[in-house]
Structure formats: C-alpha cells, structure tokens
Amino acid sequence: MLINISIEDANRILADEHIDINIIEISLLDSLDYVLAEDIKSNINIPPFNRSPLDGYAYRSEDTIYATEDSPITLEVIDVIQAGYVSNKKINNGQAIRIMTGAKIPEGADVVMKYEDTKFTDKEVKIFNYLKPQSNIVKMGEDIKSGDIVLPKGIVIGPAEIGILASLGRSHIKVYDRPKVAILATGDELVDIDEELKEGKIRNSNSYTIAAQVKRWGGEPVLLGICKDNIEETTRVLKSSLKWADVIITTGGASVGDADIIKEAFQETGGKILFWKVKMKPGTPIVVAKYENKFLFGLSGNPAAAYITFEQFVRPTILRLRGKTKYNLMEVDSLLENNSNKISSQNRYIRAFTYKKDGKYYTKLPNKHSSGVLSSLSEKNSLFFVASGMGPYKKGDKIKVQLINYLEVGE
C-alpha cells in the first residue's frame, strides 16, 4: 500500500486507473452538459437548398448590368415566395420574383436585391445598381455539408450542440452517463439534520456538502445516511452499495484513531487500497481504494478537509467518469489582498475569494482556516496553494490560485 504520497502522485495514480464509462441514449433536451458518446454525421445539407438571406427580389444579374441611380432597370414581378414555399415559375430575362428571407431561390435567378434598395409595385420592380451573380444567395450546405462529422465524440453538449442536433433531426443521442455516487457519513457522534442534538453529538453536514459538490460536477449523489464507527456495519453498507454505485465517498474514520476503521472496511469489501494519506493540508488522511471499476474515497471527517480533498481528487474522477477528460481546474495569477503570515511546513490549500478588477485578479483570504471550520468556506471560489516550506506572504504578492468553480478545456 502506498502511504503518505505527494499530491502529484495521487493524481497520477487516479488518472492511470482504468475506468468503464456507461453509455446511455437520452432525449435531446436532457442531454445538456452530457458528453457526446458518438460521432454525429450529417446526412443532409444545411441549408438544404440555396436560399435568400433577405426580403427582396430575385432575378438574373445579367439583366441589370447597366442599372444606375439615374437609369434604373425595370423588371416584371411574376410571383411571390414566402419562406417555406417554392415557386414553380422559372425566371427569364426581364423578370423578377418577390422573395422572403429563408425562401428557396427560384430557378433562373442568380441574385437577390433587398427591398430597401428598390422601388416596386405589385407588378414591377426597379433596380438601381448592379450586383454580381450569386450576391445575396446563401448556398446549399453553407452551414453543414452532407457527410460531414458535425460533432465529434467527446465534446460537451451545450445549447449550440443541441440546436445542431435538432437541425439534423436527432431526438435521441448517445452520451456518457453520470456516475452514481454513494455518500456515507461515519461517526458515533453524528446525527442526521432533522434529529435532536444530544450532548457530544453534531449534525452530519459532510454528506450534504459532498452531495452538492457531486451534483455540481455532474454526478448523481445518493445519500446513504450515517454509519456508526463499526467495521462490520460499515463494510456491509459499502458492499451493498458497490452493487450499483460507480463511486463511494465516505467521510470520517480515515485517520489513526481507535475508531478510524475506513481503510479496513475498504479492504473488507475486497477493494484494493491505491493509497492512504497525501502530503497536504487539510485532508492528509484520505484513503482511496478500487473495487473492480469502482472508486472508493475515504475523506477526512473534518468538513473543510473533506471539501478540499473532494475538489482535488474526487472531482477529476467524476469528470473522467462522465467522459470529460479534457477539463481541468482553471489556475490564474492573482495579487494577494492580505498578509498570510504562516510558513507552511506542509503543502497547503488555503481557501480564498478571488475576483477580477481592471483585468487583474485579486485574492482575499478569510481569518479562519482550520480544517474543522466549514463556515469560512462560504462564498470562497478559489484555493491558494502554498507548497511546503513556502511563506509568509504579504499583501500585493503575486500568487497562483485555482478557481474551483471554473473549468478550462485542455488540449
């Protein structure tokens, strides 16, 4: 078992683990923010015909070569075409058809002049200047050509992709499923949120924080409630959850105390421990195991430690399981707004609020940093990483921060 490893090694071990991603078929509008699991090839041209981008008149360009402001050319109007309809008339020399935006260009026409630049009656239209052939004609297939791979497998489906799929007539598509994530709180001190607080007890907040994090990054959280610090009971719950969950996250019992039974419980399920303890604060005692293709994350019971280790290790795994392999936390250069006096003996992630002003990022740190303190994580959108031995930092220092609410697309 690997113990007390670096953050980089922990990430590499996780990234190297084989994963199975489920593919499901889903209806178009439900597919928002899923990752496409098939190449989408077009079997049609879009637009499917040459069309007019303007409300105007379609005619033969050659008829108007000598048209000028002082000596306009008059054409006979032989038909009107609304968008969605076609004309069965062919334009010959000296003729024009009144045409609306989006309508199919009639046979014989090679140019469209917008209304505002003409003078017209029901029967005639006057053209005052010459437009080259093909002016104001949107070509068939300008948007999408038949046979093109329009959307490649692996991209995230956003509103534009949904529109493209709609234009191709796809009501259902194949996507990578969202992982089901079981969340278990462990600890004799815990009661659920609607229970009375007796002496020595605290409410289980971790399961809810983590369920929200899972939801935010696209997993499907399932709360398993609370387990006492009891290895048999914990193992039983884990085993039954492994039947359906893709990921299990526990909090508490990950350290070295008498009741810290999570590592053993992971092993009892038949899981292989990938590593235990990472050189970072908060959240050192994280334990990660793999059972078949499922991941088990044993996070610290300390609320901020659980939150931060989730962002570092669980989030990338959830994103991978959703097929979002190219996405990373966004990291920016920022200017520190207050002093940070500590010299860090360990790698440390400091919760922070980062904002942008006049093109520069600025970062404020809260007063409370303890891994048992959840309240100072409120409204924090970033983490300031301080490598072991670094610090103190003072106001105005240039630092790097991870923006934990933003992802950027890599290569």
Ligand X SMILES: Nc1nc2c(c(=O)[nH]1)N[C@H]1C(S)=C(S)[C@@H](COP(=O)(O)OP(=O)(O)OC[C@H]3O[C@@H](n4cnc5c(N)ncnc54)[C@H](O)[C@@H]3O)O[C@H]1N2
Interacting residues with ligand MOO (CB under 6 A): 281-284, 300, 302, 305, 371
Residue 247 identity (one-letter amino acid): V
In angstroms, give the least distance from the CB of 274 to ligand MOO. Answer: 18
Q: In DSSP terms, which residues pair with 310 in a beta bridge? A: none
In angstroms, give the least distance from the CB of 250 to ligand X. Answer: 9
In angstroms, give the least distance from the CB of 382 to ligand MOO. Answer: 19
Strand order in the sheet with 287-291: 2-5, 272-278, 287-291, 294-299, 247-251, 180-186, 220-227
Under DSSP, the state recorded for 90 is P
Residue 234 near ligand X by CB under 6 A: no
Residue nearest ligand X by beta-carbon distance: 301
For ligand X, the closer of residues 3 and 29 by Cβ is 3
Residue 264 near ligand X by CB under 6 A: no
Residue 372 near ligand X by CB under 6 A: yes
187 binding partner (options ligand X, ligand MOO, none; Cβ < 5 to 8 Å by kind) = ligand X
Under DSSP, the state recorded for 311 is I
185 binding partner (options ligand MOO, ligand X, none; Cβ < 5 to 8 Å by kind) = ligand X
For ligand X, the closer of residues 188 and 232 by Cβ is 188
Q: Cα(396)–Cα(337) distance, rounded to whole angstroms?
A: 6
Helix or strand (DSSP H, E) at 10: helix 7-16
In angstroms, give the least distance from the CB of 364 to ligand MOO. Answer: 22
Phi-psi category of 187—alpha, beta or left, where left has phi over 0 and alpha has psi -120 to 50? left
Binding mask of the shown chain, residues 280 to 319, with x at each position contacting ligand X by CB under 6 A: --x-xx--------------xxxx-x--------------
Residue nearest ligand MOO by beta-carbon distance: 305
Phi and psi (nearest 5°) for 203? -80, 150
Q: In DSSP terms, which residues pair with 243 in a beta bridge? A: none
Tokens representing residue 206 in the block: 């971790």
Q: Which of residues 176-205 bind ligand X (CB under 6 A)?
A: 185, 187, 189-190, 202, 204-205
In angstroms, give the least distance from the CB of 211 to ligand X. Answer: 11
Of the candidates 207, 221, 162, which has an alpha carbon nearest to the alpha carbon of residue 31? 162
Instruction: List, in order, residues 6 or more apart from 236 with CB less than 8 Å away.
Output: none
C-beta separation of 303 from 206 below 8 A = yes
In angstroms, give the least distance from the CB of 280 to ligand MOO. Answer: 7
For ligand X, the closer of residues 2 and 191 by Cβ is 191
Q: Cα(37)–Cα(151) distance, rounded to whole angstroms?
A: 10
C-beta separation of 271 from 290 below 8 A = yes
402 binding partner (options ligand MOO, ligand X, none; Cβ < 5 to 8 Å by kind) = none
Could you tell me where the DSSP H helices lie in 88-230?
Answer: 159-167, 206-216
Helix or strand (DSSP H, E) at 245: none
In angstroms, give the least distance from the CB of 281 to ligand X. Answer: 7
For ligand MOO, the closer of residues 227 and 299 by Cβ is 299
235, 251, 347, 402: which one contacts ligand X (CB under 6 A)? 251
CA 407 to chain centre: 7
For ligand MOO, the closer of residues 180 and 281 by Cβ is 281
Question: Could you tell me whether strands 180-186 and 220-227 are parallel, antiparallel, or unpaired per DSSP bridges?
Answer: parallel
Binding mask of the shown chain, residues 158 to 177, with x at each position contacting ligand X by CB under 6 A: --------------------
Residue 111 identity (one-letter amino acid): V
Residue 363 near ligand X by CB under 6 A: no
For ligand MOO, the closer of residues 114 and 369 by Cβ is 369
Q: Cα(238)–Cα(182) distance, rounded to whole angstroms?
A: 9
Residue 271 near ligand X by CB under 6 A: no
Residue 56 near ligand X by CB under 6 A: no
Q: Cα(309)–Cα(80) distance, rounded to whole angstroms?
A: 66
Residue 371 near ligand X by CB under 6 A: yes
354 binding partner (options ligand X, ligand MOO, none; Cβ < 5 to 8 Å by kind) = none
Phi and psi (nearest 5°) for 347? -60, 135
251 binding partner (options ligand X, ligand MOO, none; Cβ < 5 to 8 Å by kind) = ligand X
- Binding residues for ligand X (CB under 6 A): 185, 187, 189-190, 202, 204-207, 251-257, 260, 282, 284-285, 300-303, 305, 371-372
